[in-house]
Structure 1
Amino acid sequence: MNLLEQFILFLVSLVANTFSAFSGGGAGLIQFPVLIFLGLTFGVALATHKVASVALGIGAVLRYFRTSRLERQFVWLMLLAGVPGVVLGGSVILLVPDRWAEIALGLLTGGLGIYSMLKAQLGQSYDPINRSRRGFYIGGLVLFFLGFLNGSLTSGTGLFVTIWLVLWFGMDYQRAVAYTLTMVGLFWNGSGAITLGILGDIRWDWLPALLLGSLIGGYLGAHLALKHGNRWIKRAFEVVTLLISVKLIWG
């Protein structure tokens, strides 16, 4: 790629990952379609996007490192339940058509945004619930399913993790986004990148610009999330979910 194309990739990645890190997911809404528009096939674009998304997690971790309140039990839950789902989803997606799955995911994503809009106090305070063994089992099962979606689809799955942590475990948006960015952005996307890299192809010459944009965007978005708090994150979450819904349904 020439320098102009690399610069365009960097800007796309920066914008996509800044919004993603602030709202709790959705980088694929902008970044993935652009990769296809620039000439990559679906499988190659997906694998390249997953590798670049790992830098989003790294950037977020760098910002959250000093202020993180992540609990060890949730870190292990998201690793043990989510990563196997990501690997399974990444193994399956290259074998099956995904149009109907994208439409269904788009409808569900839009529903999440509308639900959040109707619940004014959703995710505005930290009210721990479902911390029993049964609660963790159910929570882990859903996280496995969300990991499968993360490995097999491109847009919006981080948002599902964010809203699940809010709804099931009673987290506020700021805390839930911190888990999504660090665990999904770094470990889930890393597992998906490795899986798709082994089974498919990656455009390595496109990655420098994408990685730099993801790294800076992840740090910047995490900084904005910490600075502006739950209400702004909630609004950003609702906007991004509705945009992703439209994108997935209408392609």
Structure 2
Amino acid sequence: MSAVDQLVLFVASFVANWFSALSGGGAGLIQFPILIFLGLPFGVALATHKVATVFLGLGAALRHLKESHLERRFVLAIVGAGVPGVALGASVILYVPERPAILALGILTLGLGLYSMVKPKLGLDYAPRNRTGIGLAVGLAGLFSVGFLNGSITSGSGLFLTLWLVRHFGLDYKRAVAYTMVVGGVLWNGTGAAVLGVLGNVRWDWMPVLLIGALLGGYLGSHVAIVKGNLWVKRAFEVTTILIGAKLIVG
């Protein structure tokens, strides 16, 4: 890569991961198209992006773990239900027609933002629920489904996890984003990266620039989310989901 290409890649990675750490997902809105624009085929760009997002999670985790809001049993539930879905999604995505999948994801993602906007109180207060019985079973099934999206689709899948944690489990946005970044960003994305690394190809020579941008963007975006609080994160989530949904629909 030329020096200019490396600079473009770093800026795209930093900005994408800053927004993702702030809003709870969406790094693929900027980073994945840039990889394709710089010349990577779809499958190679997908695998390369997925590996880089693991370092988004690590950067965000460094900041969120200082707050100590994560509950160990809930982390284990998200991992146990989501990781099999991630592995399944990453195993099938390279064989799925690209455009229909992206269009469907765009409609769903746009719906997330609009739903959050028409629920002004959603995610502003911490009111945990559905931790036992049928509510927990439904929640775990939802986590498996979101994990499938995380493994198979590049743009905005973390946003689905954020909203599911808010809507079904009663988390506020700040806590939900912390779980999305730490559990989804590191463990879920790590699983997807491992599967895609085996089934596809990764441009490892592009990775150092991507990793630096992901670590810095993830840490600083998480810092802003923690400092600004729930209302600010909720607005960032809504703007990000609407932008991603519209972009995916338009193509």
Aligned residue in 2 for 1:114:
114
Q: Is the 8 A contact 2:5 2:38 kept in 1?
A: no
Ranges in structure 2 where 5+ consecutive residues have no aligned partner: none
SS at match of 2:248: helix
Amino acid in structure 2 at the alignment position of 1:152 = S
Q: Deviation at 1:146?
A: 0.7
Alignment TM-score, normalising by the size of structure 1: 0.98
User: C-alpha displacement at 1:98, in angstroms?
Assistant: 2.6
Q: Is the contact made by 1:68 and 1:178 (CA closer than 8 Å) also made in structure 2?
A: no
- Aligned-pair CA distance for 1:247: 1.3
**Worse overlay, 178-187 or 62-71:** 62-71
Cα shift at 1:174: 0.3
| Paired residues of 1:55 and 1:215 also in contact (CA < 8 A) | yes
Whole-angstrom CA distance in 2 between matches of 1:150 and 1:24? 13
Q: Is the partner of 1:33 in helix, strand or coil?
A: helix
Q: Distance in 2 between matches of 1:79 and 1:130?
A: 17
Task: Point out 4+ residue stretches in structure 1 off by more than 4 angstroms.
Answer: none
Per-residue CA distance 1:38-86 (angstroms, 9 max, x = gap): 1101100000000000000100111112212111121111111111111
Identical-pair percentage: 63
Q: Unpaired runs of 5+ in structure 1?
A: none
Matches for 1:151-162 after TM superposition, within 5 Å: 151-162=151-162
Partner of 1:205: 205
Counterpart Cα distance in 1 of 2:188 and 2:98: 20
Equivalent-residue separation in structure 2 for 1:203 and 1:19 (angstroms): 24
The alignment yields a C-alpha RMSD, in angstroms, of 0.8
Match of 2:223 in 1: 223
In structure 1, the partner of 2:60 is: 60
Deviation track 1:72-128 (CA, whole Å, cap 9, x = no partner) reads 121111111111111111110111213112111111111111111111111000011
Give me the whole-angstrom Cα distance separating, in 1, the residues matched to 2:94 and 2:105: 18
1:44 matched to 2:44: yes
Partner in structure 2 of residue 15 of structure 1: 15
For residues 43 and 203 of structure 1, what CA distance do their matches in structure 2 show?
A: 11
Whole-Å Cα distance in 2 between the matches of residues 13 and 112 of structure 1? 24
Where does 1:73-88 land on structure 2 (aligned, <5 Å)? 73-88=73-88
Alpha-carbon displacement from aligned partner over 1:176-225 (angstroms, at most 9, x marks no partner):
00000001110111111110000010001111100100000000011000
Partner amino acid, structure 2, of 1:191: T
2 CA distance for matches of 1:133 and 1:71?
A: 19
1:4 shift after superposition: 2.0
Q: Secondary structure at the match of 2:95?
A: coil
Task: Indicate if the aligned counterparts of 1:105 and 1:248 stay in contact, CA closer than 8 A.
Answer: yes
Equivalent pair of 1:90/1:148 in contact (CA under 8 Å) = yes
Task: Give the length in aligned residue pairs.
Answer: 251
